[in-house]
Structures are given as C-alpha cells and as structure tokens.
Amino acid sequence: MKIYKGEKKRQYVTNHSIVHLFSFPIEEHIEVHEYERDEWIIQEDRRPNYLFYVIEGKAKIYVTYQNGKVSLLNFINADEYIGEMELLNDVYYTKGIQASTKTICFAFPFHRYRDRLLEDAKFLRELTKFLSVKATNMAAKYSQSLAFPLENRLADFILQTADRGVYKEKHVTVCDYLGVSYRHLLHVLTQFCEKNYLEKEGRNYRIKQYDSLYSLTEVLKNK
C-alpha cells in the first residue's frame, strides 16, 4: 500500500473531484491510497479506520467460514464506497476487501469525518441509494441462486463480463462468486461448448450463440 503525498496527491484530488458528494469541505484531511493487485484493502474481521471511495480499479468482497469455505460476495468498482458498513454500525463483522487490479482510493479517517458525514444529508442521500442498490442486488442474487441452476446464472455472468464476445474470467474466482464448486463450473462450461454456445480459445471462451445464452438468462427476470 502506498500513500500519495504532495503533487501526486494534489493531482488525484483535483482530477477526481468529489466535492459534489458532500455539503462541507471534504478535502482537508483526505488521504489517497494505492493498493496493488491482490493486496488486501481491508482484512476480514479487522475493522478499518477509514471510509474509502474508489477512484480507480476494482476490488472483491470476501467472507470466510469456519470450515474454510470462501464466498465472493460482490465486486466493487470505481465511484463506490468501501467501509461504509463500519462507518454506520458499531457492531459488524468486517468482510475482507481485496484489490483485483491496482486500485486507488480516497481514504477518509473515521475519527475526523464520521460525525460530519453522519450529519450531511447530501452524503447520506447518495449513500442510502448506494446501499439500496446493494441490498436489492444481493436479494436478487440470493433468490436466483436458489431458484435456478448454475446454467442460467452462468449464462448471465458470461454475458455481463464478456469482453468483445470473449469470456475471460478466472474459474477460481467465478466459482467463489457463483457459489459452486470448481468442478461443477467446469462441467457446465463444457456443456456450453458441447452445445456450441461457446468455443474454447486457449484459456478463454468465445461466444458462438449469443441468443442461446441470452434465452437462458431470461428466466431470471421477474414476472
């Protein structure tokens, strides 16, 4: 982890202005942190001292169970908060946050900002919306995961993450995210290839029948 100072810091604060998110001057005690790929921004079960706002990069939220099972709860992208649960709740089991690319965040030390943030309607309004979307998405994922087999959820995930017609995600990550075993994920991918929905290209998969995959995702929609 690096903390930017001086000119580099000033540059980020200027080029990624967030003054519109708050109704008080926010910049004085702000820090700019850089995390490298695979670095832990927050360690599981260890409360952070900052509220973070991601300005570049991508991260993952992980939770671990006593039996060693790991769940990738969600991805975090630019312009999203990290540590907001700890800002709001004194009692909270802190999830692990791992950078999946180089990630740069603004970091607001709780002790300097907490009280003012919790009084700021502009900030709270946006945070409330952010959390409402988060809760809605988790609810959708939950019910879909119980109501439909991997085939449907994987088709959805492939279409969402494919890069110009090619699916490139790492299997080890995806099986934690979709909550299935590595073995089963590979099994269903193989089925997609056998049906010619996908074609394997080295380590990646090229989408051959977009429509077939799309129709698998349609059952996920609400009535």
Partner DNA sequence: CTCAAAATATGAGATATCTCATATTATTAA
Partner DNA sequence: TTAATAATATGAGATATCTCATATTTTGAG
Contacts with its own copies by CB under 8 A lie at 44-45, 63-67, 69, 71, 73-74, 84-85, 88-89, 92-93, 118-121, 124-125, 127-129, 131-136, 138-139, 141-143, 145-148, 179-180, 218-223
Which does residue 105 touch among DNA, its own copies, none (CB within 5 to 8 A, set by kind)? none
Answer yes or no whether residue 146 interacts with DNA by CB under 7 A: yes
Question: Judged by CB under 7 A, which of 13, 82, 150, 198 binds DNA?
Answer: 150
Answer yes or no whether residue 190 interacts with DNA by CB under 7 A: yes
- For residue 95, the tally of other CB atoms under 10 A from its CB is 20
Question: Judged by CB under 7 A, which of 181, 195, 206, 219 binds DNA?
Answer: 181
Q: How far apart are CA 72 and CA 28, in angstroms?
A: 35
Residue 17 main-chain phi, psi, to 5 deg:
-65, 135
C-beta of residue 179 within 8 angstroms of C-beta of residue 173: no
Nearer to DNA, 32 or 59 (CB): 59
User: Which DSSP category does 95 fall into?
Assistant: P
Question: Judged by CB under 7 A, which of 76, 87, 180, 216 binds DNA?
Answer: 180
Nearer to DNA, 11 or 160 (CB): 160
What are the residues whose beta carbons fall under 8 Å from the beta carbon of 137, sequence distance 6 or more?
A: 74
Answer yes or no whether residue 196 interacts with DNA by CB under 7 A: no
How is 37-52 classified by DSSP, letter by letter?
Answer: TT-EEE-TTS--SEEE
- For residue 111, the tally of other CB atoms under 10 A from its CB is 10
Which does residue 31 touch among DNA, its own copies, none (CB within 5 to 8 A, set by kind)? none
Angle between helices 150-161 and 210-218 (to 10 degrees): 120
Binding site for DNA (CB under 7 A): 146, 149-151, 170-172, 179-184, 186-188, 190, 200, 203
